[in-house]
Structure 1
Protein backbone atom coordinates (compact mmCIF):
# COMPACT_ATOMS: atom_id res chain seq x y z
CA UNK A 1 0.00 0.00 0.00
CA UNK A 2 2.69 2.47 1.03
CA UNK A 3 4.72 1.66 -2.07
CA UNK A 4 1.75 2.53 -4.26
CA UNK A 5 1.05 5.76 -2.38
CA UNK A 6 4.74 6.76 -2.56
CA UNK A 7 4.80 6.31 -6.33
CA UNK A 8 5.44 9.78 -7.83
CA UNK A 9 2.38 9.58 -10.07
CA UNK A 10 0.07 8.54 -7.23
CA UNK A 11 1.69 11.12 -4.98
CA UNK A 12 0.87 13.91 -7.42
CA UNK A 13 -2.76 12.83 -7.53
CA UNK A 14 -3.46 12.45 -3.82
CA UNK A 15 -1.32 15.40 -2.73
CA UNK A 16 -2.98 17.61 -5.35
CA UNK A 17 -6.33 16.81 -3.76
CA UNK A 18 -5.13 17.23 -0.17
CA UNK A 19 -2.99 20.37 -0.32
CA UNK A 20 -5.81 22.90 -0.94
CA UNK A 21 -7.62 21.62 2.16
CA UNK A 22 -4.40 21.71 4.17
CA UNK A 23 -3.72 25.25 2.99
CA UNK A 24 -7.17 26.39 4.08
CA UNK A 25 -6.89 24.62 7.44
CA UNK A 26 -3.43 26.07 8.10
CA UNK A 27 -4.62 29.60 7.22
CA UNK A 28 -7.60 29.23 9.57
CA UNK A 29 -5.46 27.85 12.40
CA UNK A 30 -2.82 30.55 12.00
CA UNK A 31 -5.53 33.21 11.92
CA UNK A 32 -6.97 31.95 15.20
CA UNK A 33 -3.48 31.64 16.66
CA UNK A 34 -2.54 35.20 15.73
CA UNK A 35 -5.79 36.52 17.19
CA UNK A 36 -5.11 34.68 20.46
CA UNK A 37 -1.51 35.88 20.42
CA UNK A 38 -2.23 39.61 20.09
CA UNK A 39 -5.67 40.00 21.61
CA UNK A 40 -6.13 37.24 24.21
CA UNK A 41 -2.71 36.22 25.60
CA UNK A 42 -1.68 38.62 28.40
CA UNK A 43 1.72 40.36 28.54
CA UNK A 44 4.30 38.67 30.74
CA UNK A 45 4.77 40.16 34.19
CA UNK A 46 8.54 40.44 33.58
CA UNK A 47 8.96 40.60 29.80
CA UNK A 48 5.91 42.68 29.02
CA UNK A 49 4.75 42.78 25.39
CA UNK A 50 8.07 41.39 24.08
CA UNK A 51 6.90 37.93 25.15
CA UNK A 52 4.70 37.86 22.03
CA UNK A 53 7.85 37.15 20.01
CA UNK A 54 7.68 33.71 21.61
CA UNK A 55 4.58 32.84 19.57
CA UNK A 56 6.63 33.14 16.35
CA UNK A 57 10.00 32.04 17.70
CA UNK A 58 8.95 28.71 19.21
CA UNK A 59 7.00 27.40 16.17
CA UNK A 60 9.88 28.42 13.89
CA UNK A 61 12.41 26.61 16.10
CA UNK A 62 10.23 23.51 16.19
CA UNK A 63 9.83 23.44 12.40
CA UNK A 64 13.53 24.02 11.78
CA UNK A 65 14.27 20.86 13.76
CA UNK A 66 11.20 18.99 12.45
CA UNK A 67 12.12 19.40 8.79
CA UNK A 68 15.71 18.33 9.39
CA UNK A 69 14.40 15.22 11.14
CA UNK A 70 12.20 14.49 8.12
CA UNK A 71 15.23 14.97 5.87
CA UNK A 72 17.18 12.43 7.92
CA UNK A 73 14.37 9.89 7.49
CA UNK A 74 14.28 10.63 3.76
CA UNK A 75 18.06 10.15 3.61
CA UNK A 76 17.63 6.64 4.98
CA UNK A 77 15.04 5.97 2.26
CA UNK A 78 17.48 7.22 -0.37
CA UNK A 79 20.45 5.16 0.82
CA UNK A 80 18.65 1.94 1.80
CA UNK A 81 15.74 1.68 -0.66
CA UNK A 82 16.89 4.24 -3.26
CA UNK A 83 13.31 5.44 -3.56
CA UNK A 84 13.10 8.48 -5.87
CA UNK A 85 10.39 10.13 -3.78
CA UNK A 86 12.67 10.05 -0.72
CA UNK A 87 15.19 12.29 -2.47
CA UNK A 88 12.35 14.53 -3.69
CA UNK A 89 11.04 14.89 -0.12
CA UNK A 90 14.51 15.66 1.19
CA UNK A 91 15.27 18.26 -1.47
CA UNK A 92 11.88 19.95 -0.96
CA UNK A 93 12.31 20.10 2.82
CA UNK A 94 15.77 21.72 2.85
CA UNK A 95 14.87 25.34 1.88
CA UNK A 96 11.73 25.27 4.03
CA UNK A 97 13.64 24.06 7.08
CA UNK A 98 16.39 26.60 6.43
CA UNK A 99 13.83 29.42 6.24
CA UNK A 100 12.22 28.46 9.55
CA UNK A 101 15.64 28.11 11.20
CA UNK A 102 16.55 31.61 10.00
CA UNK A 103 13.26 32.98 11.36
CA UNK A 104 14.03 31.28 14.67
CA UNK A 105 17.46 32.90 14.88
CA UNK A 106 16.20 36.37 13.89
CA UNK A 107 13.26 36.35 16.30
CA UNK A 108 15.48 34.93 19.03
CA UNK A 109 17.93 37.79 18.54
CA UNK A 110 15.11 40.36 18.68
CA UNK A 111 13.83 38.69 21.85
CA UNK A 112 17.27 38.45 23.38
CA UNK A 113 18.09 42.16 23.08
CA UNK A 114 15.59 43.40 25.71
CA UNK A 115 16.01 40.26 27.88
CA UNK A 116 19.78 39.74 27.79
CA UNK A 117 20.94 43.17 26.66
CA UNK A 118 22.46 41.82 23.42
CA UNK A 119 21.27 40.39 20.14
CA UNK A 120 23.63 37.43 20.22
CA UNK A 121 25.63 35.34 22.66
CA UNK A 122 27.51 32.13 21.93
CA UNK A 123 24.98 30.21 23.99
CA UNK A 124 24.81 26.42 23.46
CA UNK A 125 21.23 26.50 22.14
CA UNK A 126 21.83 29.52 19.90
CA UNK A 127 25.10 28.14 18.55
CA UNK A 128 23.64 24.72 17.78
CA UNK A 129 20.74 26.35 15.92
CA UNK A 130 23.22 28.45 13.92
CA UNK A 131 25.10 25.24 13.07
CA UNK A 132 21.77 23.75 11.90
CA UNK A 133 21.28 26.69 9.53
CA UNK A 134 24.83 26.27 8.17
CA UNK A 135 24.19 22.55 7.62
CA UNK A 136 21.00 23.40 5.71
CA UNK A 137 22.95 25.85 3.53
CA UNK A 138 25.70 23.28 2.94
CA UNK A 139 23.16 20.65 1.85
CA UNK A 140 21.46 23.06 -0.55
CA UNK A 141 24.85 24.11 -1.97
CA UNK A 142 25.93 20.47 -2.42
CA UNK A 143 22.82 19.75 -4.48
CA UNK A 144 23.62 22.69 -6.75
CA UNK A 145 27.25 21.74 -7.31
CA UNK A 146 26.62 18.19 -8.57
CA UNK A 147 25.03 17.67 -11.98
CA UNK A 148 24.39 13.92 -11.66
CA UNK A 149 21.11 13.59 -9.66
CA UNK A 150 21.94 10.10 -8.38
CA UNK A 151 25.38 11.06 -7.10
CA UNK A 152 23.95 14.23 -5.56
CA UNK A 153 21.19 12.26 -3.82
CA UNK A 154 23.65 9.83 -2.21
CA UNK A 155 26.13 12.56 -1.20
CA UNK A 156 23.41 14.74 0.31
CA UNK A 157 21.86 11.77 2.13
CA UNK A 158 25.20 10.96 3.78
CA UNK A 159 25.79 14.61 4.75
CA UNK A 160 22.25 14.83 6.15
CA UNK A 161 22.71 11.78 8.36
CA UNK A 162 26.04 13.12 9.64
CA UNK A 163 24.41 16.47 10.42
CA UNK A 164 21.59 14.73 12.31
CA UNK A 165 24.01 14.40 15.24
CA UNK A 166 23.24 18.08 15.89
CA UNK A 167 19.54 17.44 16.62
CA UNK A 168 19.95 15.91 20.11
CA UNK A 169 22.51 18.62 20.88
CA UNK A 170 19.87 21.26 20.07
CA UNK A 171 17.28 19.50 22.21
CA UNK A 172 19.40 18.80 25.30
CA UNK A 173 21.90 21.67 25.13
CA UNK A 174 20.01 23.59 27.82
CA UNK A 175 20.28 20.55 30.10
CA UNK A 176 23.88 19.59 29.36
CA UNK A 177 25.39 23.07 29.69
CA UNK A 178 24.75 26.19 31.74
CA UNK A 179 23.12 28.54 29.23
CA UNK A 180 21.26 31.84 29.12
CA UNK A 181 18.52 30.17 27.11
CA UNK A 182 15.66 28.97 29.27
CA UNK A 183 15.22 25.19 29.71
CA UNK A 184 12.38 23.19 28.17
CA UNK A 185 9.03 24.77 29.05
CA UNK A 186 6.43 22.75 27.10
CA UNK A 187 7.58 19.12 26.87
CA UNK A 188 9.17 18.38 30.22
CA UNK A 189 8.76 16.14 33.25
CA UNK A 190 6.02 17.45 35.51
CA UNK A 191 4.13 19.23 32.75
CA UNK A 192 4.45 22.59 31.10
CA UNK A 193 5.77 25.55 33.08
CA UNK A 194 3.91 28.06 30.89
CA UNK A 195 0.66 29.53 32.18
CA UNK A 196 -2.40 28.19 30.27
CA UNK A 197 -3.30 31.73 29.15
CA UNK A 198 -0.09 31.71 27.09
CA UNK A 199 0.29 27.98 26.51
CA UNK A 200 -2.98 27.54 24.62
CA UNK A 201 -2.31 30.31 22.05
CA UNK A 202 1.24 28.98 21.66
CA UNK A 203 -0.01 25.45 20.94
CA UNK A 204 -2.45 26.83 18.35
CA UNK A 205 0.39 28.73 16.68
CA UNK A 206 2.57 25.60 16.66
CA UNK A 207 -0.25 23.58 15.06
CA UNK A 208 -0.92 26.29 12.47
CA UNK A 209 2.74 26.71 11.59
CA UNK A 210 3.17 22.93 11.30
CA UNK A 211 0.19 22.65 8.95
CA UNK A 212 1.56 25.54 6.87
CA UNK A 213 5.00 23.92 6.75
CA UNK A 214 3.57 20.57 5.63
CA UNK A 215 1.48 22.33 2.98
CA UNK A 216 4.56 24.13 1.63
CA UNK A 217 6.45 20.84 1.66
CA UNK A 218 3.80 19.05 -0.39
CA UNK A 219 3.60 21.90 -2.91
CA UNK A 220 7.39 21.97 -3.22
CA UNK A 221 7.53 18.19 -3.69
CA UNK A 222 4.96 18.45 -6.50
CA UNK A 223 7.04 21.15 -8.18
CA UNK A 224 10.22 19.10 -7.82
CA UNK A 225 8.62 16.00 -9.38
CA UNK A 226 7.38 18.02 -12.35
CA UNK A 227 10.79 19.70 -12.69
CA UNK A 228 12.50 16.31 -12.84
CA UNK A 229 10.01 15.06 -15.42
CA UNK A 230 10.67 18.09 -17.59
CA UNK A 231 14.43 17.53 -17.23
CA UNK A 232 14.07 13.87 -18.25
CA UNK A 233 11.94 14.76 -21.29
CA UNK A 234 14.40 17.48 -22.29
CA UNK A 235 17.33 15.07 -22.12
CA UNK A 236 15.46 12.45 -24.13
CA UNK A 237 14.51 15.00 -26.77
CA UNK A 238 18.10 16.22 -26.99
CA UNK A 239 19.34 12.64 -27.40
CA UNK A 240 16.74 12.00 -30.09
CA UNK A 241 17.80 15.11 -32.01
CA UNK A 242 21.47 14.18 -31.67
CA UNK A 243 20.76 10.66 -32.94
CA UNK A 244 18.79 12.08 -35.89
CA UNK A 245 21.58 14.49 -36.77
CA UNK A 246 24.07 11.62 -36.81
CA UNK A 247 22.09 9.65 -39.44
CA UNK A 248 23.09 10.00 -43.11
CA UNK A 249 20.72 11.81 -45.50
CA UNK A 250 17.88 9.65 -46.79
CA UNK A 251 18.71 7.65 -49.92
CA UNK A 252 22.52 7.88 -49.60
CA UNK A 253 24.71 5.04 -48.37
CA UNK A 254 26.47 5.71 -45.10
CA UNK A 255 29.84 5.93 -46.81
CA UNK A 256 28.60 8.70 -49.18
CA UNK A 257 26.96 10.85 -46.54
CA UNK A 258 28.30 14.41 -46.42
Structure 2
Protein backbone atom coordinates (compact mmCIF):
# COMPACT_ATOMS: atom_id res chain seq x y z
CA UNK A 1 0.00 0.00 0.00
CA UNK A 2 2.82 2.39 0.90
CA UNK A 3 4.48 1.76 -2.46
CA UNK A 4 1.19 2.59 -4.24
CA UNK A 5 0.86 5.85 -2.28
CA UNK A 6 4.47 6.73 -3.03
CA UNK A 7 3.96 6.00 -6.74
CA UNK A 8 0.81 8.15 -6.81
CA UNK A 9 2.70 10.96 -5.07
CA UNK A 10 5.43 10.93 -7.71
CA UNK A 11 2.86 10.76 -10.50
CA UNK A 12 0.94 13.75 -9.15
CA UNK A 13 4.22 15.64 -8.97
CA UNK A 14 4.92 15.01 -12.66
CA UNK A 15 3.69 17.89 -14.87
CA UNK A 16 3.43 15.58 -17.90
CA UNK A 17 1.37 12.95 -16.04
CA UNK A 18 -0.85 15.62 -14.46
CA UNK A 19 -1.46 17.25 -17.85
CA UNK A 20 -2.37 13.97 -19.55
CA UNK A 21 -4.64 12.79 -16.72
CA UNK A 22 -6.56 16.04 -16.40
CA UNK A 23 -6.96 16.26 -20.18
CA UNK A 24 -9.05 13.09 -19.97
CA UNK A 25 -11.10 14.32 -17.01
CA UNK A 26 -11.84 17.87 -18.12
CA UNK A 27 -14.47 17.11 -20.82
CA UNK A 28 -16.44 14.97 -18.37
CA UNK A 29 -16.50 17.75 -15.78
CA UNK A 30 -17.52 20.26 -18.46
CA UNK A 31 -20.46 18.29 -19.84
CA UNK A 32 -21.72 17.03 -16.50
CA UNK A 33 -21.43 20.50 -14.95
CA UNK A 34 -23.19 22.14 -17.90
CA UNK A 35 -26.07 19.65 -17.79
CA UNK A 36 -26.53 20.05 -14.04
CA UNK A 37 -26.40 23.84 -14.26
CA UNK A 38 -28.89 23.93 -17.12
CA UNK A 39 -31.41 21.74 -15.28
CA UNK A 40 -30.82 23.38 -11.90
CA UNK A 41 -31.06 26.99 -13.07
CA UNK A 42 -34.14 26.43 -15.26
CA UNK A 43 -35.85 24.46 -12.50
CA UNK A 44 -34.96 27.01 -9.84
CA UNK A 45 -35.85 30.12 -11.83
CA UNK A 46 -38.88 28.91 -13.75
CA UNK A 47 -40.53 26.08 -11.84
CA UNK A 48 -39.60 26.31 -8.14
CA UNK A 49 -42.35 28.00 -6.09
CA UNK A 50 -41.82 31.50 -4.72
CA UNK A 51 -40.70 31.76 -1.10
CA UNK A 52 -43.56 32.58 1.28
CA UNK A 53 -41.59 35.45 2.85
CA UNK A 54 -39.13 36.67 0.20
CA UNK A 55 -41.21 35.99 -2.89
CA UNK A 56 -39.24 35.62 -6.10
CA UNK A 57 -36.18 37.48 -4.78
CA UNK A 58 -35.01 34.26 -3.13
CA UNK A 59 -34.22 32.78 -6.57
CA UNK A 60 -30.81 34.44 -6.54
CA UNK A 61 -29.93 31.65 -4.09
CA UNK A 62 -29.23 29.40 -7.09
CA UNK A 63 -26.19 31.53 -7.93
CA UNK A 64 -25.32 33.06 -4.54
CA UNK A 65 -25.11 29.88 -2.46
CA UNK A 66 -23.01 27.83 -4.94
CA UNK A 67 -20.61 30.76 -5.42
CA UNK A 68 -20.29 31.36 -1.67
CA UNK A 69 -19.74 27.68 -0.87
CA UNK A 70 -17.25 27.18 -3.67
CA UNK A 71 -15.28 30.33 -2.84
CA UNK A 72 -14.66 28.89 0.63
CA UNK A 73 -13.93 25.38 -0.65
CA UNK A 74 -11.51 26.80 -3.21
CA UNK A 75 -9.59 28.61 -0.49
CA UNK A 76 -9.30 25.40 1.52
CA UNK A 77 -7.99 23.62 -1.59
CA UNK A 78 -5.50 26.41 -2.17
CA UNK A 79 -4.33 26.23 1.45
CA UNK A 80 -3.95 22.44 1.28
CA UNK A 81 -1.99 22.76 -1.97
CA UNK A 82 0.25 25.36 -0.32
CA UNK A 83 0.80 23.15 2.72
CA UNK A 84 1.73 20.17 0.54
CA UNK A 85 4.18 22.36 -1.35
CA UNK A 86 5.78 23.70 1.81
CA UNK A 87 6.03 20.36 3.64
CA UNK A 88 6.63 17.83 0.84
CA UNK A 89 8.21 20.20 -1.72
CA UNK A 90 5.80 19.18 -4.49
CA UNK A 91 6.08 21.91 -7.14
CA UNK A 92 2.85 20.88 -8.87
CA UNK A 93 0.91 21.78 -5.72
CA UNK A 94 2.21 25.37 -6.01
CA UNK A 95 1.01 25.44 -9.63
CA UNK A 96 -2.46 24.27 -8.61
CA UNK A 97 -2.60 26.80 -5.78
CA UNK A 98 -1.63 29.62 -8.12
CA UNK A 99 -4.30 28.52 -10.60
CA UNK A 100 -7.03 28.45 -7.95
CA UNK A 101 -6.43 31.98 -6.60
CA UNK A 102 -8.03 34.10 -9.38
CA UNK A 103 -10.93 31.66 -9.76
CA UNK A 104 -11.61 31.75 -6.03
CA UNK A 105 -11.44 35.55 -6.04
CA UNK A 106 -13.98 35.68 -8.89
CA UNK A 107 -16.32 33.39 -6.97
CA UNK A 108 -15.98 35.54 -3.83
CA UNK A 109 -16.89 38.62 -5.88
CA UNK A 110 -19.94 36.84 -7.33
CA UNK A 111 -20.99 35.78 -3.82
CA UNK A 112 -20.63 39.33 -2.46
CA UNK A 113 -22.42 40.98 -5.40
CA UNK A 114 -25.33 38.51 -5.48
CA UNK A 115 -25.55 38.76 -1.69
CA UNK A 116 -25.86 42.54 -1.97
CA UNK A 117 -28.56 42.20 -4.63
CA UNK A 118 -30.40 39.73 -2.40
CA UNK A 119 -29.90 41.89 0.68
CA UNK A 120 -31.48 45.01 -0.81
CA UNK A 121 -35.09 43.70 -0.92
CA UNK A 122 -34.59 41.49 2.15
CA UNK A 123 -32.76 43.84 4.55
CA UNK A 124 -33.49 47.16 2.86
CA UNK A 125 -29.80 47.88 2.21
CA UNK A 126 -27.05 46.74 -0.13
CA UNK A 127 -24.46 46.23 2.59
CA UNK A 128 -24.16 45.94 6.36
CA UNK A 129 -21.03 45.24 8.38
CA UNK A 130 -22.49 41.88 9.29
CA UNK A 131 -20.15 39.16 10.59
CA UNK A 132 -20.80 36.87 7.61
CA UNK A 133 -20.48 39.63 5.01
CA UNK A 134 -17.36 41.08 6.61
CA UNK A 135 -15.61 37.71 6.84
CA UNK A 136 -16.50 37.03 3.19
CA UNK A 137 -14.97 40.38 2.25
CA UNK A 138 -11.82 39.38 4.15
CA UNK A 139 -11.78 36.15 2.11
CA UNK A 140 -11.71 38.21 -1.08
CA UNK A 141 -8.83 40.30 0.31
CA UNK A 142 -6.92 37.10 1.12
CA UNK A 143 -7.36 35.88 -2.45
CA UNK A 144 -6.20 39.25 -3.75
CA UNK A 145 -3.20 39.07 -1.44
CA UNK A 146 -2.15 35.71 -2.88
CA UNK A 147 -2.56 37.04 -6.43
CA UNK A 148 -0.57 40.18 -5.54
CA UNK A 149 2.30 38.07 -4.17
CA UNK A 150 2.62 36.16 -7.43
CA UNK A 151 2.59 39.42 -9.40
CA UNK A 152 5.00 41.29 -7.11
CA UNK A 153 7.71 38.68 -6.45
CA UNK A 154 9.75 37.75 -9.51
CA UNK A 155 11.58 34.83 -7.91
CA UNK A 156 9.31 31.84 -8.46
CA UNK A 157 10.36 29.87 -5.38
CA UNK A 158 9.96 32.86 -3.07
CA UNK A 159 6.57 33.71 -4.58
CA UNK A 160 5.37 30.12 -4.16
CA UNK A 161 6.41 29.95 -0.53
CA UNK A 162 5.05 33.40 0.40
CA UNK A 163 1.71 32.72 -1.29
CA UNK A 164 1.49 29.28 0.33
CA UNK A 165 2.15 30.73 3.80
CA UNK A 166 -0.55 33.37 3.33
CA UNK A 167 -2.96 30.69 2.08
CA UNK A 168 -2.35 28.46 5.09
CA UNK A 169 -2.52 31.28 7.65
CA UNK A 170 -5.60 32.80 6.00
CA UNK A 171 -7.50 29.52 6.22
CA UNK A 172 -8.39 30.47 9.80
CA UNK A 173 -11.00 32.76 8.22
CA UNK A 174 -12.97 29.81 6.78
CA UNK A 175 -14.42 28.55 10.10
CA UNK A 176 -15.13 32.18 11.02
CA UNK A 177 -17.25 32.49 7.85
CA UNK A 178 -19.01 29.21 8.53
CA UNK A 179 -19.88 29.81 12.19
CA UNK A 180 -20.27 33.60 12.12
CA UNK A 181 -24.08 33.35 12.14
CA UNK A 182 -23.88 31.21 15.29
CA UNK A 183 -21.15 33.08 17.17
CA UNK A 184 -22.50 36.62 16.64
CA UNK A 185 -25.84 38.39 16.32
CA UNK A 186 -26.12 38.62 12.55
CA UNK A 187 -28.71 39.51 9.91
CA UNK A 188 -27.50 36.72 7.65
CA UNK A 189 -29.64 33.61 7.72
CA UNK A 190 -28.16 30.28 8.95
CA UNK A 191 -26.64 27.81 6.51
CA UNK A 192 -29.06 26.59 3.87
CA UNK A 193 -27.37 23.18 3.61
CA UNK A 194 -25.82 21.25 6.49
CA UNK A 195 -24.65 17.65 6.76
CA UNK A 196 -26.18 17.08 10.19
CA UNK A 197 -29.72 18.45 9.69
CA UNK A 198 -32.55 17.94 7.26
CA UNK A 199 -32.95 20.80 4.78
CA UNK A 200 -35.50 23.41 5.76
CA UNK A 201 -36.37 24.09 2.11
CA UNK A 202 -39.11 22.30 0.19
CA UNK A 203 -37.75 19.54 -2.11
CA UNK A 204 -38.84 21.41 -5.25
CA UNK A 205 -36.65 24.32 -4.12
CA UNK A 206 -33.83 22.29 -2.55
CA UNK A 207 -33.13 19.82 -5.38
CA UNK A 208 -32.31 22.46 -8.03
CA UNK A 209 -30.03 24.15 -5.48
CA UNK A 210 -28.08 20.93 -5.02
CA UNK A 211 -27.85 20.51 -8.80
CA UNK A 212 -26.43 24.01 -9.28
CA UNK A 213 -23.93 23.50 -6.44
CA UNK A 214 -22.60 20.29 -8.00
CA UNK A 215 -22.59 21.99 -11.39
CA UNK A 216 -20.54 24.87 -10.01
CA UNK A 217 -18.00 22.42 -8.56
CA UNK A 218 -17.70 20.64 -11.92
CA UNK A 219 -17.14 23.94 -13.72
CA UNK A 220 -14.61 24.92 -11.08
CA UNK A 221 -12.68 21.73 -11.85
CA UNK A 222 -12.65 22.65 -15.55
CA UNK A 223 -11.38 26.18 -14.84
CA UNK A 224 -8.64 24.98 -12.48
CA UNK A 225 -7.54 22.27 -14.91
CA UNK A 226 -7.37 24.76 -17.79
CA UNK A 227 -5.35 27.32 -15.83
CA UNK A 228 -3.06 24.64 -14.39
CA UNK A 229 -2.44 23.14 -17.82
CA UNK A 230 -1.59 26.57 -19.25
CA UNK A 231 0.86 27.14 -16.39
CA UNK A 232 2.40 23.71 -16.98
CA UNK A 233 2.87 24.39 -20.69
CA UNK A 234 4.58 27.70 -19.92
CA UNK A 235 6.89 26.28 -17.26
CA UNK A 236 7.72 23.16 -19.28
CA UNK A 237 7.87 24.91 -22.67
CA UNK A 238 11.49 23.88 -23.26
CA UNK A 239 10.91 20.17 -22.55
CA UNK A 240 10.60 17.61 -25.34
CA UNK A 241 7.10 16.45 -24.41
CA UNK A 242 5.66 19.99 -24.55
CA UNK A 243 7.39 20.76 -27.86
CA UNK A 244 6.02 17.51 -29.24
CA UNK A 245 2.54 18.32 -27.94
CA UNK A 246 2.60 21.80 -29.46
CA UNK A 247 3.91 20.51 -32.78
CA UNK A 248 1.12 17.90 -32.90
CA UNK A 249 -1.47 20.60 -32.14
CA UNK A 250 -0.05 22.85 -34.85
CA UNK A 251 -0.39 20.09 -37.46
CA UNK A 252 -4.07 19.66 -36.61
Normalised by the size of structure 1, how large is the TM-score? Answer: 0.87
- 5+ residue gaps, structure 1, are 234-258
- 5+ residue gaps, structure 2, are 1-6, 240-252
Match of 1:11 in 2: 18
Match of 1:129 in 2: 136
Q: CA RMSD in A?
A: 1.2
> What pairs with 1:56-205 in structure 2 (closer than 5 Å)?
56-187=63-194, 189-205=196-212
CA distance in 1, matches of 2:138, 2:91: 28
CA distance in 1, matches of 2:200, 2:69: 18
The structure number with the bigger radius of gyration is 1
CA distance in 1, matches of 2:109, 2:145: 14
- The alpha-carbon deviation at position 18 of structure 1 amounts to 1.4
Match of 2:249 in 1: none
Q: Does the aligned pair in 2 maintain the 1:112–1:118 contact within 8 Å?
A: yes
- The alpha-carbon deviation at position 208 of structure 1 amounts to 0.5
> What pairs with 1:24-43 in structure 2 (closer than 5 Å)?
24-43=31-50
- The alpha-carbon deviation at position 213 of structure 1 amounts to 0.6
Match of 2:235 in 1: 228
Matched, 1:52 2:59: yes
Normalised by the size of structure 2, how large is the TM-score? Answer: 0.89
CA distance in 2, matches of 1:135, 1:181: 22
- The alpha-carbon deviation at position 42 of structure 1 amounts to 0.9
Match of 1:250 in 2: none
- The alpha-carbon deviation at position 203 of structure 1 amounts to 0.3
- The alpha-carbon deviation at position 37 of structure 1 amounts to 1.1
List structure 1 runs of 4+ shifted beyond 2 angstroms.
none
CA distance in 2, matches of 1:197, 1:80: 46
